Amino acid sequence: MTSSAYRRRERRKARRPPNDACPTCGTIMRPHRGTRTLPVNGEAIRVRDCSYLLCQKCGETLTGLDAAYDLFDRAFALYRAKHHLLPPDEIRGIREQHSLTQAAMAKLLRLGTNTISRWEAGRNVQTAAMDVLLRLIRDVPETLKFLRRHAA
Ligand SMILES: [Zn+2]
């Protein structure tokens, strides 16, 4: 790197605000714990005792990557419990019971290719309506035949 390029890069670094500066007003943000609300399948789910950075001046909040994963995990778990939905390992069990790949099952249910994979990994959660369909596949043997007959 030429010395002028080095100097330019150093000047850019110097202008960049510190990592804990509020992106809205530049004030240093402080760690905070509180309730966050997250949309899960269009429903607002309140997650208590979350950690995030809060700007005391303008009220802006920032959630770090680890805290964000934790927030999503807890929001999905709350949603699952609230609607009495099948847990991820049971969804995998139903699929494996019928020797379906994730892609084949997604196609039968007319879902996006990666949806089943996300449900099974706990990275997303099924709606109550989809949960009923999954239980039908598990408990009513004719369901799979019906879905195959009416496949898109
Ligand atoms: Zn601020």
pLDDT of residue 4: 77
pLDDT of residue 141: 83
pTM comes to 0.78
Biggest alpha carbon distance in the chain? 73
pLDDT of residue 8: 75
For the chain, domains (ranges, CATH) are 30-82 (3.10.20), 88-149 (1.10.260)
Q: How far apart are CA 68 and CA 64, in angstroms?
A: 6
Q: Is residue 77 a contact partner of residue 61, using CB atoms and an 8 Å limit?
A: no
Neighbours of 7 (CB within 10 A): 11
pLDDT of residue 117: 96
Residues 6+ apart with CB under 8 A from 28: 18, 20, 21, 22
Average confidence (pLDDT) per 10 residues, the chain, 152 residues: 72 70 94 95 96 95 91 96 97 96 95 95 95 96 92 73
Ligand 1 midpoint to CA 90 (Å): 44
Ligand 1 midpoint to CA 54 (Å): 8
Residues with CB under 5 A from ligand 1 (ion): 22, 24-25, 27, 55, 57-58, 60
pLDDT of residue 152: 67
